[in-house]
Amino acid sequence: MSEGVPTPASATSTASAAPAASTRGASADSPRGAPAASTRGAAPDRLGRRARRTAGGARRSGRAGAARSPMAAPVSFLWTRRILLTLLAVFAATPLYVMLSSSLKPLQDVTGSFRWIPAHLTIRPYLDIWETVPLGRYFLNSFIVSAAATLCSVVVATFAAYAVSRYRFRGKRVFTVTVLSTQMFPGILFLLPLFLLFVNIGNATGIALYGSRGALILTYMTFTLPLSIWMLAGYFDSIPRDLDEAAQVDGCGALGALFRVLVPAATPGIVAVGIYAFMTAWGEVLFASVMTNDVTRTLSIGLQGYSTQTEVYWNQVMAASLVVSVPIVAGFLLLQRYLVAGLTAGSVK
Amino acid sequence: MTRGDRRSTAAPAPDPAASAVPPPAPAGAAKDAPRDAPASPGHAPAPPTPSPPSAGRGTSALRDRVRHAGLPYLLLVPALVLELLVHIVPMITGITMAFRDLTQEYIRNWGAAPWAGLDNFHIAVDVNAPVGEALLRSFAITCAFTVLAVGLAWLLGATAAILMQDTFRGRGLLRALFLTPYALPVYAAVITWSFLLQRDNGLVNHVLHDQLGLTDAPPFWLVGDNSFFSLVVVSVWRTWPFAFLMLTAALQNIPRDVYEASAIDGAGMWRQIRHITLPALRPVNQVLVLVLFLWTFNDFNVPFVLFGKSAPESADLISLHIYQSSFATWDFGAGSAMSVLLLLFLLLVTAAYLLLTRERAPRATRSCGTRRRKRAHV
């Protein structure tokens, strides 16, 4: 968490930032910026002119350097930042460290008093987790359900967002408001009726939805749909209409314009929606607890299998938690810049 | 899913849905109809088309107009079908269930359950009876929990986002670390916390009791009154990275010259944060706080994994409470009535919140932004 000099963007700015930082404390009463005037010779012309025009020239010399790196910070800020970010990092990292270190301990070391530094290291828990509960099957189930739900959700949301972003039609407002407002309904409100609905559909048509992966896929994809549509529509809005209209003039057709122009241009938004949908499906607990059976059980419920034995195998629990987290955390961290970009376009208008 | 042949990736995609959704036809028709059959019955699901499809058969101009009017509805059909099946119909079902005496014997055939009028609601809100009293207590706990957890999550997220607005060495690494709790699957994160909070072999008691000696005896964190604070901490640990992410994204939208101009005007770091950064975040905060509120208030996952099916009284969040009282007694009618009351409450709060924030938010930011910018061009 060591910090360098804030934004030494170029050679000229480093040169001017150094004196600026050192004089910052006294800058308020420094005489009309003689030192700043000399450094500003190297600064971009536009900036220098603007600075001179404000309030009779080079007032507050020290700030002239700060103008180019707006966050070139006083010492109080730097120390506040150091302390607060360290505390936050400890808060964020401690459980992660415990997860990792405990997963490498033998069982007797996790049942006794906690130790920061493991006394013995073993990879045994990573071998045992597959035996204690059928973790492989849970893994496969979670993957099938999450991948299918993500794929469907992204495709359906793309179509809907295209309509919302590019067309005016009657009922548009009703649609968007209704869809978005479902986001705030408590999941518990849907749980019982959906449970009954799937049971009754099964009774009436013979399609065994209840307990099947299909029911979970259907549920998850719909639950991620509202935010996905909203984010994607925002993203489409940020793409100039001329682009897809030109494609339509060239004879692409509305869908051609969508797939050849909008979808490639909106890749960050689509990736963001995909991450969101996959993470939601991978982590969902409430519906998985009711709508799965022994065969279709997903990780969210399956992991509790280590805790229901007479003894809790904490080292295996930690190892299994780590194993199921690694793929999703890695994917998330690799793609998070898309998520930031997607959120920026979708939510900040 | 976005690269390669778009047409071929688009074509098979709705199939998994089609196999699961009972009426799959519209989902398929949504794609094909506009390409091959301009004014065919494929337009039928689109409700209020200005002119009937048959009229478009005459001239191509008319046909184009019909196509244009119908296309948005066709694009919406898959989403509409899903929303109807999984959200709207169950919601209406849930609301009707609240008026029925729906007990275990009617599960297979809930239409046969006798109507109960407002009985379920009477039971739910009767504060003097055990059921109503428990619901009220759970509601109060949830409110306190939500205020605390949302406030802290926002505070931590905003602090980190503002402090990390500027580049410094190790920023990327730190950001990845901060986002990891959010990326972890809920159950993995919460199970880890439940290990940390164990009385005899957890880290929290090791630090508080063994290392710092703050307590006489190692306290329980997952039963009794302490469990409320455990719940708050775990919830904040999981949600603050989301606030951080949203606010980081929003900060990237503040134009740099606003800072430059204010720096020239002599505004220091802290004044910039107070007068530029925080007001510019207001529109995002409006959405963010609402989303955090709804997620936290409805949170089921964290208490369910942390405490198992029976939460201690002091951490009995409303979602878990409804779940327990529905599946423990199989009295789905009462459970639905509670859900409906919860929904009404959330609707009220959301509406009030949107009304209150809409009045002030846009004007304040705009005036501040333009004033700054104007000064920059003087």
Domains, in order of start, for chain B: 6-97 (no CATH), 119-377 (1.10.3720.10)
Residue A158: which pLDDT band, with cuts at 50, 70 and 90?
A: very high
Co-location of A284 and A168 in the same domain: yes
Nearest CA in chain A to B32: A255
Residue A218 to residue B20, Cβ atoms within 8 A: yes
User: How many other CB atoms are found less than 10 A from the CB of residue A243?
Assistant: 12
Distance CA A85, CA A233 (A): 35
Residue A348 to residue B250, Cβ atoms within 8 A: yes
Tell me, rounded to whole angstroms, the distance of Cα B266 from its chain centroid.
41
Q: Which of A19-33, A298-312, B162-176 has the lowest mean pLDDT?
A: A19-33
Residue A222 to residue B210, Cβ atoms within 8 A: no
User: How many other CB atoms are found less than 10 A from the CB of residue A225?
Assistant: 28
Best of A87, A152, A203, A292 to mutate (most B CBs within 10 Å, chain B): A152
- Higher-scoring residue by pLDDT: B253, A164: A164
Nearest CA in chain A to B11: A155
Tell me, rounded to whole angstroms, the distance of Cα B111 from its chain centroid.
31
Q: Is the pLDDT of residue B109 over 70?
A: no
Nearest to A190 among B94, B193, B294 (CB): B94
Nearest to B298 among A169, A187, A263 (CB): A187
What is the residue-wise DSSP string for A113-162? S--SS-SS--SHHHHHHHHHS-HHHHHHHHHHHHHHHHHHHHHHHHHHHH
Co-location of A141 and A99 in the same domain: no
What's the pLDDT at B21? 36
Residue B156 to residue A317, Cβ atoms within 8 A: no
Distance from B2 to chain A by nearest Cα, in Å? Answer: 6
- Give the amino acid at B12: P
Examine residue A178 and state whether it is found in any structural domain, yes or no. Answer: yes
pLDDT tens string B174-223: 999 999 998 899 889 999 998 999 888 888 888 888 888 888 888 888 88
- Which phi and psi angles does A56 have, rounded to 5°? 65, 50
Examine residue A6 and state whether it is found in any structural domain, yes or no. Answer: no
Examine residue A310 and state whether it is found in any structural domain, yes or no. Answer: yes
Co-location of A241 and A251 in the same domain: yes
- On whether any CB of chain B is under 8 Å from the CB of A52, the answer is no
Mean per-residue pLDDT over chain A, rounded: 74
Percent of chain B with pLDDT over 70: 74
Residue B34 to residue A253, Cβ atoms within 8 A: yes
Of the candidates B281, B290, B247, B259, the residue with the CA atom closest to the CA atom of residue B361: B281
E runs forming strands in chain B: none
Best of B21, B36, B83, B265 to mutate (most A CBs within 10 Å, chain A): B83
Average pLDDT over residues A200-214: 77
Of the candidates A343, A332, A91, A339, the residue with the CA atom closest to the CA atom of residue B152: A91
Co-location of A314 and A180 in the same domain: yes
Residue B159 to residue A102, Cβ atoms within 8 A: no
Co-location of A258 and A222 in the same domain: yes
Q: Do B285 and B155 contact (CB within 8 A), yes or no?
A: no
Distance CA B33, CA B51 (A): 17
Distance CA A73, CA A5 (A): 9
Co-location of A201 and A322 in the same domain: yes
Examine residue A206 and state whether it is found in any structural domain, yes or no. Answer: yes
Residue B77: which pLDDT band, with cuts at 50, 70 and 90?
A: confident
CB < 8 Å to A219, chain B? 86
- On whether any CB of chain B is under 8 Å from the CB of A83, the answer is no
Co-location of A335 and A230 in the same domain: yes
Examine residue A318 and state whether it is found in any structural domain, yes or no. Answer: yes
Nearest to B87 among A50, A154, A222 (CB): A222
What's the pLDDT at B256? 80
**Residue whose entry in the numeric block shows the structure tokens 């504060």:** B127
Q: Is the pLDDT of residue B373 over 50?
A: no
- On whether any CB of chain B is under 8 Å from the CB of A233, the answer is no
Give A292's strand partners. A211
- Higher-scoring residue by pLDDT: A229, B373: A229
What's the pLDDT at B63? 63
Residue A285 to residue B304, Cβ atoms within 8 A: yes
- On whether any CB of chain B is under 8 Å from the CB of A98, the answer is yes
What b/e readout covers B92-119, taking b as 16+ CB neighbours within 10 angstroms?
A: ebbbbbbbbbbeeebbeebeebeebeeb
When divided into structural domains, chain A yields a total of 3
Co-location of A115 and A175 in the same domain: no
- On whether any CB of chain B is under 8 Å from the CB of A104, the answer is no
Under DSSP, the state recorded for A306 is G
Radius of gyration, CA atoms only, chain B: 27
Co-location of A303 and A175 in the same domain: yes
Distance CA B282, CA B356 (A): 13
Q: Do A103 and A126 contact (CB within 8 A), yes or no?
A: yes
Co-location of A115 and A136 in the same domain: no
Q: What share of chain B is helix, strand, coil (3-state, %, to 5)?
A: 75, 0, 25
Q: Two tokens at B346? A: 């959330």
CA dihedral A282, A287, A288, A292 (to 10 degrees): -140
Nearest to B75 among A160, A214, A282 (CB): A160
Q: Which of B36-50, B109-123, B355-369 has the highest mean pLDDT?
A: B109-123
Long-range CB contacts for residues B228-233, cutoff 8 Å, separation at least 24: B228/B141, B228/B144, B228/B145, B228/B314, B228/B315, B230/B193, B230/B197, B230/B306, B230/B315, B231/B145, B231/B302, B231/B303, B231/B306, B231/B315, B231/B317, B232/B145, B232/B148, B232/B149, B232/B152, B233/B193
- On whether any CB of chain B is under 8 Å from the CB of A4, the answer is yes
Nearest CA in chain A to B330: A192
Distance CA A310, CA A38 (A): 76
Examine residue A99 and state whether it is found in any structural domain, yes or no. Answer: yes
Distance CA B252, CA B132 (A): 48
Nearest CA in chain B to A314: B195
Q: Is the pLDDT of residue B152 over 90?
A: yes
Indicate whether this model's pTM tops 0.80.
no
Distance CA B362, CA B58 (A): 49
CA distances from B48 to A207, A288, B188 (A): 33, 38, 48
Residue A26: which pLDDT band, with cuts at 50, 70 and 90?
A: very low
What is the residue-wise DSSP string for A74-90? -HHHHHHHHHHHHHHHH
Q: Which of A56-60, A177-181, B57-61, B328-332 has the lowest mean pLDDT?
A: A56-60
Co-location of A115 and A37 in the same domain: no
Q: Do A176 and A164 contact (CB within 8 A), yes or no?
A: yes
pLDDT tens string A55-82: 333 333 333 333 334 455 678 888 888 9
What's the pLDDT at A68? 36
CB < 8 Å to B332, chain A? 192, 196
Examine residue A326 and state whether it is found in any structural domain, yes or no. Answer: yes
CA distances from A184 to A177, B120, B245, B299, B376 (A): 11, 23, 20, 11, 42
CB < 8 Å to B351, chain A? none
Distance CA B311, CA B313 (A): 6
Nearest CA in chain B to A349: B283
Of the candidates B276, B376, B268, B256, the residue with the CA atom closest to the CA atom of residue A50: B376
Distance CA A273, CA A42 (A): 45
Q: Do B307 and B315 contact (CB within 8 A), yes or no?
A: yes
Nearest to A184 among B110, B265, B346 (CB): B346
Examine residue A77 and state whether it is found in any structural domain, yes or no. Answer: no
E runs forming strands in chain A: none
State which residues form the domain around A110: 88-127
Co-location of A157 and A39 in the same domain: no
CB < 8 Å to A200, chain B? 108, 110
Average pLDDT over residues A216-225: 89
Residue A151 to residue B16, Cβ atoms within 8 A: yes
Q: Two tokens at A116? A: 């920061």
CB < 8 Å to B287, chain A? 347
- Give the amino acid at B294: L
Q: Do B34 and A253 contact (CB within 8 A), yes or no?
A: yes
**Residue whose entry in the numeric block shows the structure tokens 């002030």:** B360
Q: How many helices (H) and strands (E) does chain A have?
A: 18, 0
